[in-house]
Chain A
Amino acid sequence: NAGVTQTPKFQVLKTGQSMTLQCAQDMNHEYMSWYRQDPGMGLRLIHYSVGAGITDQGEVPNGYNVSRSTTEDFPLRLLSAAPSQTSVYFCASRSSGAYEQYFGPGTRLTVT
């Protein structure tokens, strides 16, 4: 199993550009989520999904969209990038019947 994978590892965007961060898991986990981690801070929940076709907002959803068309994939879309979205983004997943959450390796995003 590859676990939770994220692409790209690094990305630089200009203000106003859009892009999609990819997240995939091969563990058949129902639950998936996106977090952002700013320097010196904890992880803040952006959006989450409890199954294909079901998504909901977390603590800091503004400026981001998600969709969940398959169990495996949970992409995060930045509609119009802003410097305030410079951060490290982590995707995570867990089984609905288990406790442990698995994190992907992260995507470091810089918006200039």
Chain B
Amino acid sequence: GENVEQHPSTLSVQEGDSAVIKCTYSDSASNYFPWYKQELGKRPQLIIDIRSNVGEKKDQRIAVTLNKTAKHFSLHITETQPEDSAVYFCAADRMDSSYKLIFGSGTRLLVRP
């Protein structure tokens, strides 16, 4: 079945450094790749997404890149701040009537002041 692998499981960076989280997916029909941030005890919140017809998308300090040939996509956070500390999840979906948004296992990001 569909599978999304995410690495690393934990990531610790110094405030101001960059953080990169990588995901690979198995279903070649996937064409939508969102990233979610989840703070402790809260619901996942969408922070950025990318569609398969785009290679890169940026929104202020966060960016996502997609390599459809290799079936992997990455989240880049620049100039990290302590409030970026959270668990980040990648996901993949075909965006057809099957409606199966499959999540990676998550990355716990700690930004040290």
Residues of A bordering B, CB below 8 Å: 31, 33, 35, 40-45, 48, 50, 56, 58-59, 90, 92, 96, 99-101, 103-106
| A42 neighbours in B (Cβ, 8 Å) | 6, 89, 103-106
Interface SS of chain B:
loop
Give the size of the chain B interface in residues (CB under 8 angstroms): 22
B105 contacts A99, C-beta separation under 8 Å: no
Contacting residue for A44 out of B32, B44, B99, B103, CB 8 A: B103
- Given contact pairs A42-B6, A59-B1, A105-B43, A99 touches B99 in the complex (Cβ within 8 A): no
| B101 neighbours in A (Cβ, 8 Å) | 33, 45, 92, 101
30 of the cross-chain contacts (CB-CB < 8 Å) are A31-B99, A33-B101, A40-B106, A42-B89, A42-B103, A42-B104, A42-B105, A42-B106, A43-B44, A43-B89, A45-B100, A45-B101, A48-B100, A50-B99, A59-B102, A90-B43, A90-B44, A92-B101, A96-B97, A99-B32, A99-B49, A99-B51, A99-B95, A100-B46, A101-B46, A101-B101, A103-B43, A103-B45, A104-B43, A106-B43
